[in-house]
Structure 1
Amino acid sequence: MPASQPAQKPRRPRLSAEDRRASILDAATEVFSEVGYQRGKMSEVARRVGVSEPVVFQNFGSKAAVFAAVLDHAAERMSTGMREWAGRSPSVGAWLGELLAPEHLAHVHARGTLGVLFEDAMTLTTEPAVLESARRGNQALARTLADLLERGQADGSIRPDLEPAAGAWWLISLLASQNFRRTVAPDPAHSDAALGALTMRLLAVDATN
């Protein structure tokens, strides 16, 4: 005789308001990075969290507000990730070489990544909250990059005459313009590789580092 089955599924543990909001952010990050803002559905976010769609709106107010919060969250994760990545490298110059490697550049804005969220955000010109969050996030990333470049000057792998903030915005501009190159460059992969190598020569003390 088969074992008896419970008549009802066990209830999910009740989340605190803070944990529920964090779960919604995580699910929304997945959805928006996979399909983009326009195609991302709050019903799918709710399904992944295991709540009703109104609960998502109760926590954030609107789809644009959800995306803006996702961008803030993504910027924090990216900044933390870059610092940890650089910390595992022999020097900041070595890390910069990894950042600008063709195989890494090829996936910076791939679907499912955090980078694609910011690429998507800059096209949403009718959503002021999203644009403000994207601006805030990029500025936070620029500060992180500037800090890392300054650390590289201290370890001797980044040029001492470099202004760290200018170098940081150079890197962000290089990454942010990838979609433009993919649209108009005759060989986007070659252009990315050449620009990465040029950037290494401009920023690093030893481009082979």
Structure 2
Amino acid sequence: MTESRPRARTRTRLPAAERRASILAAATEVFSETGYQRGKVSDIAKRIGVSEPVVFQNFGSKAALYRAALDHVTDSVSALLHQAADAGRPVPEVLATFLDPAHMDHFHQPGSHGFLFADAAALAHDPDLGGALRQVHQHFGTALAELLRRGQSAGEIRDDVDPETAAWWLVSLLAGRSFRAAVVPERDAVEAELTRMALGALLPEGSAGGGPRPSRGSA
């Protein structure tokens, strides 16, 4: 009886789209843990068992890969918000859960998607990445505006609120967290009150948490 020889292992070559997706997933993990400046392409390549040239062949540069990771994270967060609404949760409840200060603190910790957003804010003046940050904010603002329109259609959000303006208001609330963390005393209480005020102002008159609206011409 002859002894069979073990077959040599061959490396499976992924289709181009799958390879690109795997690189993007690894880059999102690395940048969410370390930020752009400390994130290394060699670490990204190592996570999926490819060489650095393979990463550059697919994305061209570290900056381009970071921009792609930002887009990927924005798509993921926007999809989660809309999925919650698709599951039947009222839009104000979806927003309240997402904007809850405790959730925001966790969301912006290293390893979470929000850390990548916070890291990108520090790169606003970078010539290669400043435009990407503006694009991400616009993208997320559009997603929030669509969510607010859904709430208006369901009678859950005031119908006299412009969705785009309200979306930018919420984006600005999030963008100001790092500033408030540096200068505001008793930040936790302030964050909770700011969130309550922002959400309450979006609710129709008479809704829980929604106060009466000022009449035209009032101070």
- Assess same fold via TM > 0.5: yes
2:137 aligned with 1:138: yes
Q: Using the TM superposition, give the Cα deviation of residue 197 of structure 1 relative to its aligned residue in structure 2, in angstroms.
A: 0.6
Cα distance in 2 for partners of 1:13, 1:125 equals 40
Give unmatched runs, 5+ long, in structure 2.
211-219
Is 2:74 the counterpart of 1:75? yes
- The one-letter amino acid of 1:41's match is K
In the alignment, the residues of structure 2 paired with residue 108 and residue 191 of structure 1 have an alpha-carbon distance, to the nearest angstrom, of 18
- State the distance in 2 between where 1:137 and 1:127 align: 15
Contact 2:81 2:94 in 1 (8 A): no
- Partners of 1:78 and 1:50 in 2: how far apart? 27
User: Identity over the aligned pairs, expressed in percent?
Assistant: 47
- 1:164 is matched by which residue type in structure 2? P
Deviation at 1:185, TM superposition (A): 1.0
Find the counterpart in structure 1 of residue 51 from structure 2.
52
Q: Is the 8 A contact 1:64 1:127 kept in 2?
A: no
Judge conservation of contact 2:24–2:65 (CA < 8 Å) in 1: yes
Q: 3-state DSSP class of the match of 1:159?
A: coil
Q: Whose radius of gyration is greater, 1 or 2?
A: 2
Q: Deviations over 1:86-123 (max 9, x none)?
A: 22343112222222323222223221122221221122
Q: Partners in 1 of 2:189 and 2:134 — Cα distance?
A: 29
Deviation, 1:6, is 5.5
Partner of 2:13: 14
Q: Structure 1 CA distance, aligned partners of 2:194 and 2:147?
A: 20
Q: TM-score, normalised by structure 1?
A: 0.89
Find the counterpart in structure 1 of residue 189 from structure 2: 190
Give the CA deviation at 1:82.
1.4
Number of residue-to-residue matches in the alignment: 205
Point out where structure 1 has 5 or more consecutive residues left out of the alignment. none
**8 Å Cα contact 2:23/2:45 also seen in 1:** yes
Structure 1 runs (4+) deviating above 6 angstroms are none
1:147–1:126 distance in 2 versus 1, CA, 3 Å = closer
Alignment CA distance shift 1:69-1:90 (3 Å): closer
Check conservation: 2:158, 2:202, Cα contact below 8 A. yes
Q: TM-score, normalised by structure 2?
A: 0.86
Per chain length, whose mean CA-contact separation is higher, i.e. which structure has more relative contact order (CA < 8 Å, sep 6+)?
A: 1
- CA RMSD of the aligned region, Å? 2.1
Residues 100-158 of structure 1 deviation map (CA, whole Å, 9 limit, x = unaligned): 32322222322112222122112224533322222112111111111111111111111
- The reply on whether 1:107 has 2:72 as its aligned counterpart is no
Aligned residue for 1:158?
Answer: 157
